[in-house]
Structures are given as C-alpha cells and as structure tokens.
Homo-oligomer: A and B are copies of this chain.
C-alpha cells in the first residue's frame, strides 16, 4: 500500500515519543490528519522551528534558543542563589511554582554506581566553577527524593562544604517523589522551608 507508506512512517516516528505506544500513535496520527490544516501543519512548522533553534544553555543546561539562556542572561536572576536540579523538566516545574528568583544548574541526571554515572558525566565540575565565577552565596540542592538523588545531594554538599551556604528542599517532597509530578504549591512550600545541610 504505497500511498499509506508516508502515514505509516509518521506513525512509527510518533510511537517513539515517551508515553505513546503504537496504538496511541495511530490515534494521534488519525487525529492529526483530520485536523491537518488547524493542527498538523502548525505542529510541523513549530517542530521544524524548534529543531532549527533549540539548544542547551552552555552555562546551566536549560533548553532555549540561545547559547546562554534567558535566566542566565538576566541580571535580575543574579541573586547569589543557585538551584541545582536533575533535569530541565524539574527546572520548568520550579519556574511554574514562581517562588524562586535565582538561577539554576541542570545536572543532567544523578550519580549512579549501577549505571556508571560519575561526577564527570554530570555537570558537577561546571557547577563548582559557577559557584566561584558567579559569586554564589547559597546552593539549593533540589534533587529528587530518590536514593540516587540523595546520594548526589550528599556528594555535592561534600564538595562545596565551607565555601557556600548549602540547603535542600525540605517540607512537602514525598519520599520517592519526583519534582515534576508535584503541584506548584507543594514546591513553593518545600522551597520556603528549605533547611541547612
């Protein structure tokens, strides 16, 4: 069926998105074809635009469309507070809570003996550099409350000990919970009640 080959190829690509299997990819593609003027064509253009322009911030690891992201570029965000998160989804979750006014540092994961992820695989050396270079007075370790997240928190706290105030999110983050799943109020409460390590 040659004329459906292009549609099958689109379904195969869609099925590679997280959370979509073959069946939901087929449903999504049929929906897109039905709304090809209102949704499929705009989505194609927006994807191409993002594919052409998106990049990771060379300083913090956030995604944006410039080499240095808006948060790192903004003098208003130079509060001396640096919030360390595992990935960009967590940074976005923090931003949605609207309570943090400093800058971020995205590690890109956690230390993991099992997966052979050491400090060099993450952005930990860059973090240590930034604490000096940007005159950071407080590092807020906002990693997930998982075993690997907490291992990473303690590793970074050891590295920075005596050089800067080190805090971590306290109240409201459930054991085993991931930041990106929490509501904004919970994140706000956890940030306000942060405690010294």
Contact = CB atoms under 8 A, between A and B. Distances in A.
A190 interface: no
Contact of A6 (B1, B17, B32, B65): B65
Interface string A31-54: 111001101111111111111011
A125 to B, nearest CB: 21
A99 B45 CA distance: 39
Contacts of A3: 64-66, 69-70
Contacts of A44: 44-45, 47-48, 51
Given A20-B19, A70-B2, A92-B26, A10 B47 contact: yes
Contacts of A69: 3-4
Contacts of A89: 26-27, 30
Given A13-B39, A30-B89, A1 B47 contact: no
B10 A46 contact: yes
Which of A36, A54, A66 is packed against the most chain B CB atoms within 10 Å?
A: A54
B18 A43 contact: no
Contacts of A88: 30
A2 B64 CA distance: 9
A9 interface: yes
A152 B61 CA distance: 56
A178 to B, nearest CB: 11
A54 to B, nearest CB: 5
11 contacts: A4-B69, A7-B63, A10-B47, A10-B49, A18-B28, A20-B28, A23-B180, A32-B47, A33-B50, A40-B47, A40-B50
